[in-house]
Amino acid sequence: MRTTVGIIGGGPAGLLLARLLHRAGVDCVVLEARTREYVEQRQRAGMLEQGTVDALREAGAAERLVAEGLVHQGIELRFDRERHHIDFPALTGGRTVTIYAQTEIVKDLVALQLADGPPLLFEAAALAVENPQGATPVVRFRHEGRERTLTCDWIAGCDGFHGISRDVFPAGTGRSYAHEYPYSWLGILAEVPPSCDELIYARGERGFALHSMRSPSVSRLYLQVPNGTDADDWPDDRIWDELAARFAIDGDWTLERGPISAKSVTTMRSYVHEPMRHGRLLLAGDAAHIVPPTGAKGLNLAVADVRVLARAFIELHRTGSTQLLDRYSELCLQRVWQATRFSDDMTRMLHAQPNGDAFDDRMQLARLRRITASRHAAAELAVNYSGLPLPL
């Protein structure tokens, strides 16, 4: 096989890149190691920045998003049994965020790709990237029981944190920065309408809790738990009781309970790999960086990478210039580090520290009080949460 851009990974980053390139007349092929069913059912993020919504519109993949997505005007912070609303449009000049599950984004993009897009191969596991610094790098992959090759002009590594793309970088050509947090999230999907109109971030002595949603009838909730927690050790009643305790406020509010359809434990980490390019291989999304989910940045960072990368490939296609491709890593990492900082700040401010003391507790409260008392501090949170502009 031969193509202009070989895309390793058929998650939202790879699929969105393929759509943007296809609409601009740039030839590409997507290789996805998993089955279509697995990819479309994989539970991930659901909060979309304004820029992510705009990118899906640009790709012609926003019809269901516009019809079914839940537009949110802000978030709610809870601490000391009080509730505080952070009004995004008032603080950012009109920007909002939208709740629309990543599983639905993937379904929309897969359907478009299979209907009229370039090749999308499922169960096509990338085995190696060869000659990444040459003029025609090659992806070796296994599909339908035999090994095949995809010869490319460029390769986009969109295959996630555990993919092969980042390992292509030779020793000494890059550096990674990592931090592991001393707690995890126990997440549930519940077949019950959300108990809130917007996301609730709750901080308390018992630990952090988040109330989110996937649709008007499905709630998504999280609890801070110790690392190494087994979800099976948390029966449904225990989960609901703990959520109710952490969301408790002085006033009239009730956490609605319902059947729990899924439980999982997510470890918390920050990770950034520099640079994001090696020869003609360019990393995007989780292949290059991971952030703790507190700031809702993982999917949105991947989309931001893809928007820059698509523009760079389209510029090359139309003008022959590699100027934007040559600046790809530099431009993306500016935004990546700011999103990593914001996610880290939110995480440290809202989670009970396993080895913290009374001083740490007071510092967390002081940070929260500043956000709820200062328009400037609230605006900084709102601007970062709803999405920084692309560095172009």
pLDDT for the residue 100: 95
User: Mean of the pLDDT values across residues 219-231?
Assistant: 97
Buried b (16+ CB within 10 A) or exposed e, 16-40: bbbbbbbeeebebbbbbbbebeebb
Measured distance CA(103)–CA(109) in Å, rounded: 10
Distance in angstroms (rounded) separating the CA atoms of residues 384 and 386: 6
Cβ 110 vs Cβ 133: under 8 Å: no
d(CA 366, CA 198): 24
Give this prediction's pTM: 0.95
Q: What percent of the chain has pLDDT over 70?
A: 100
pLDDT at 352: 96
Are 297 and 4 in contact by the 8 Å Cβ rule? The answer is no
Q: What tokens does 14 get?
A: 């790879």
Question: At residue 228, does pLDDT exceed 90?
Answer: yes
Q: Is 60 left (phi over 0), alpha (psi -120 to 50) or beta?
A: left
Active-site residue, 385 included: yes
Whether 100 sits among the annotated catalytic residues: the reply is: no
Q: Give CA separation, 19 vs 23, 39, 85, 215, in Å.
A: 6, 17, 37, 25
The answer to whether the beta carbons of residues 273 and 283 sit under 8 Å apart is: yes
Which residue in the list 181, 194, 293, 328 is annotated as catalytic?
293
The residue annotated as part of the active site, out of 72, 211, 273, 289, is 72
Residue 200 pLDDT > 90: yes
Length reported for the chain: 392
For residues 252-279, one letter each, b for 16 or more C-beta atoms within 10 angstroms of the residue's C-beta and e for the rest, the string is: eeebebeebeebebeebebbbbbbbbbb
Average pLDDT of the residues in 365-380: 98
Catalytic residue among 211, 273, 289, 297: 297
Residue 78, pLDDT score = 98
Mean pLDDT of all residues in the chain?
96
Q: Which pLDDT belongs to residue 240?
A: 98
Give the span between the Cα atoms of 142 and 156, in whole angstroms. 18
For residue 73, the model assigns a pLDDT of 97
Residue 118 confidence (pLDDT)? 81
How far, in Å, CA of 154 to CA of 4, rounded?
6
Helix (H, G, I), strand (E, B) or coil at 181: strand
Residue 392 is predicted with a pLDDT of 78
pLDDT above 80: residue 279: yes
Confidence tier at 156 by pLDDT (50, 70, 90):
very high
Cis bond before residue 194 (omega within 30° of 0) = no
Residue 44 has a pLDDT of 74
Question: How are strands ordered across the β-sheet holding 260-274?
Answer: 82-87, 74-79, 200-202, 209-215, 218-225, 175-190, 260-274, 289-290
Active-site annotation holder among 100, 183, 328, 385: 385
Rounded to an integer, the average pLDDT of 74-101 is: 97
Q: Please name the amino acid found at residue 90.
A: A
pLDDT band at 117 (very low <50, low <70, confident <90, very high): confident
Partners of 136 in beta bridges: none
Residue 367 has pLDDT above 80, yes or no: yes
- Say how far apart CA 252 and CA 184 lie, in whole Å: 30
Q: How do residues 42-53 score in pLDDT, each as one tens digit?
A: 877 789 999 999
Would you give the DSSP letter of residue 123?
S
- 263 as an active site residue: the answer is no
Instruction: Judge whether 294 and 313 are in contact, CB under 8 Å.
Output: no
Nearest to 153 by CA among 127, 175, 135: 135
Q: What is the mean pLDDT of residues 17-44?
A: 94
Is 107 catalytic? The answer is no
Of 201, 222, 289, 292, which residue is the catalytic one? 201
